[in-house]
Chain A
Amino acid sequence: MTPSRRSFLMAAAALSAAVATPEMVRAAAALDAAESADWAIATRDVEDDVARRAMRLVHGRAPAGLSGALYRNGPGKFRRPGGSATHWFDGDGLIRAFRVEDGQATLEARFADTPKRRWESEIDAVVTPGFGTKGDDRAKVGSNDDANAANTAVMVAGDQVWALWEAGSPLAMESSDLSSRGFVALRDDLKGMPFQPHPRYDPDGTVWNVGLAGDRAVIWRLNPDRSLNDARIVRLPRASYMHDFTATDRHLILVLQPWLFERHGAPVISGLAWRPEQGTQVMVLDKDDLTKSRIYELPGFFHFHLGDAWAEGDGAIRFDVAASADPRFAVDGARVLVEGHGVVPGDPARLALITLRPDGRAEMFTSAAVGEFPKSDPRRAGLARSLTVHTAGETRGRPLPTGLAVQDWTAGRSQGFDFGGHQIVEETVFVPKPGATAEKEAWLVGPSINLREGRTELHVYDAAHVDDGPVATWAADIALPAGFHGVWAG
């Protein structure tokens, strides 16, 4: 539509024998703009695996002692000639490794080798039903792992990294070269049970996770070596869409929002109904006895992500959440992001602190901090803490982060840094400084997409001085689409 309208305008100007008027030039430019927004690169397609390449230090100095790898996951391929994904959450998983050693940084990225990607590559069409993509009858889905996009998060498991997705098994990949090794079955009779993208860690290294099927959840407990300790089915009071969960050192916390599965269909969002009048239920389970649980009630709100929880001295449980009023972004915003132009529906989330009191009351305090992708100090997972790092700068219509901030819940203060509109900042994680124990004795490490330079960058900030901006920035020679979640392996 658009190229022919533009050429019509230009042809009309020529026919009228007048020089193209400023109005006509502006109209043609506006039509060009409708083709793709400045942020469209955030959902671009990557065609092939990205071989390991050096990144160039373009700002500051690499901190001495920073050594390790940031593994991240996110959708890297959406569109094919025979059919395309129509939702941000349905692209093929592209696992990225940013490796930092002796002041040098490298970047490599490899697609998760899934049955979905193999079939869709063979017929060169995206046909598999997903979270927002309807799919069609060319799909081959004999089980949930046939639809597994392996695109949401990544966790470390010995010499492997596991690519995680909401509704299926982890996909094992070699850490050294990101080659895929196949889906993980933690026990033969649990093959295909869902393993969600946000596992939580105990101080002793035990891994907890959940997987959902309607109003039933599987609670996973893994040993520090990632072997299965236990898997238990728990009944939930409602069938909510739940992307994340949280935990203290002693309790698991499931936030059951009023976005409810009223039926199961393709795509997933077609079966979900928003019922805010039913409020949000927070279910707290005793890690030592999963039959013991308690339900708290809060007003209805929407969320994807929670922060690590902790218990206060009086037994109150606290955790933070990136909260929104409704699921508009999940339904429409994430669709527009893949379309690559226009105004993105949905208001940006804001950080809120939830307190669950021993007497059964629950409170939610919404801060002024706009942001998403909350992360905190891994040394304090499940334990008392003050700080949450989160993306920042999202605005209505353009909910793409332009910076990051550190929320201090104890001091009631936020410190942040904003790059400006030419950067799309991604999730940034705490990397404790070697040998240090104080919460602020850490770096913050995370990538961005530099829209002006058309490249992916990796930034390191000092957690105690995030408002100074990055202490080091490396630049890649390519721009990868935006990722979701990652983990630092030191």
Chain B
Amino acid sequence: MKTLAPIAALAAAAVVSAPAFAADLTVAFPAAASQGRIMVALFDSEANYGGEGQPARHAVVDAAAGETRVVFEGLPDGDYAIRAFHDLNGDGRMNTNPFGMPIEPYAFSNNAVGVMGPATWERAKFAAAAAAAVQTIDLK
């Protein structure tokens, strides 16, 4: 009995201090050209994805150096969506033609597509769960 209490206390402490779930999310762009950089923004709510807030995480994939993927570690459980574009000319901006159409490749998680606009949160969202999650994205 005397040994049980410290072990129980340790076990209780372990349960309280760990996060509820922690997912690692791999975002891969297998078909991306080896040029420039891929800008990846990961959003954790519909409001933030829609522009009302900041991305929960962001990353730059150095496509010119041959990188094609990024891993976001320790994500709290929940729904996420990704906006990504391929900055081919390295100017840090999504370039457009004179009539405002994007001329650099871009994509959303689930390879979701909008109708003459960004894909909706409903179409782009996916769940980060305890098991490792992978998003394979085709930039167009």
Give the B-binding residues of A (Cβ under 8 A): 129, 135, 137, 139-144, 146-147, 188-194, 211, 213, 216, 218, 233, 266
**B131 close to A (CB within 8 Å):** no
Given A142-B140, A143-B102, verify A189-B97 contact (CB < 8 Å). Answer: yes
**Chain B residues with Cβ under 8 A from A143's Cβ?**
101-102, 116
Closest-by-CB residue of B relative to A193 is B97
Whether B101 lies near A216 (C-beta < 8 A) is no
Whether A190 lies near B98 (C-beta < 8 A) is yes
Whether A192 lies near B140 (C-beta < 8 A) is no
Contact with A along B33-47 (1 / 0, CB 8 A): 000000000000000
**B103 close to A (CB within 8 Å):** yes
**Chain A residues with Cβ under 8 A from B8's Cβ?**
none
Which one, B98, B102, B116, contacts A141 given CB within 8 A? Answer: B116
5 A-B pairs within 8 Å (CB atoms) are namely A129-B115, A141-B113, A143-B102, A191-B101, A266-B115
Total number of B residues with any Cβ neighbor in A under 8 Å? 14
**Chain A residues with Cβ under 8 A from B95's Cβ?**
189
Q: In the complex, given contacts A190-B98, A233-B98, what are 12 additional A-B residue pairs having Cβ atoms less than 8 angstroms apart?
A: A129-B116, A140-B115, A141-B114, A141-B116, A146-B113, A189-B95, A189-B103, A191-B97, A191-B101, A192-B97, A192-B103, A193-B99
Q: How many A-B residue pairs have CB under 8 A?
A: 51
Whether A193 lies near B115 (C-beta < 8 A) is no
Closest-by-CB residue of B relative to A190 is B97
**Chain B residues with Cβ under 8 A from A192's Cβ?**
97, 99, 101, 103
- A209–chain B nearest beta-carbon distance, Å: 15
Contact with A along B76-112 (1 / 0, CB 8 A): 0000000000000000000101111111001000000
**Chain B residues with Cβ under 8 A from A211's Cβ?**
99
Whether A216 lies near B115 (C-beta < 8 A) is no
**Chain A residues with Cβ under 8 A from B100's Cβ?**
213
**Chain B residues with Cβ under 8 A from A135's Cβ?**
115
Q: How far is the CA of A137 from the CA of B119 in the complex (A)?
A: 11
- Which 6 residue pairs are nearest across A and B when measured between Cβ atoms? A140-B113, A192-B101, A213-B99, A191-B103, A141-B115, A142-B113
Whether A139 lies near B115 (C-beta < 8 A) is yes
Which one, A129, A188, A218, contacts B98 given CB within 8 A? Answer: A218
- A355–chain B nearest beta-carbon distance, Å: 33
Contact with A along B48-63 (1 / 0, CB 8 A): 0000000000000000
Closest-by-CB residue of A relative to B89 is A188
- B81–chain A nearest beta-carbon distance, Å: 16
Whether A218 lies near B113 (C-beta < 8 A) is no
Which of B99, B106, B114 has its CB near the most chain A CB atoms (within 10 A)? B99
Q: How far is the CA of A139 from the CA of B103 in the complex (A)?
A: 21
**Chain B residues with Cβ under 8 A from A193's Cβ?**
97-99, 101
Closest-by-CB residue of B relative to A115 is B140
Q: How far is the CA of A135 from the CA of B100 in the complex (A)?
A: 23
Whether A216 lies near B99 (C-beta < 8 A) is yes
Q: How far is the CA of A384 from the CA of B103 in the complex (A)?
A: 41
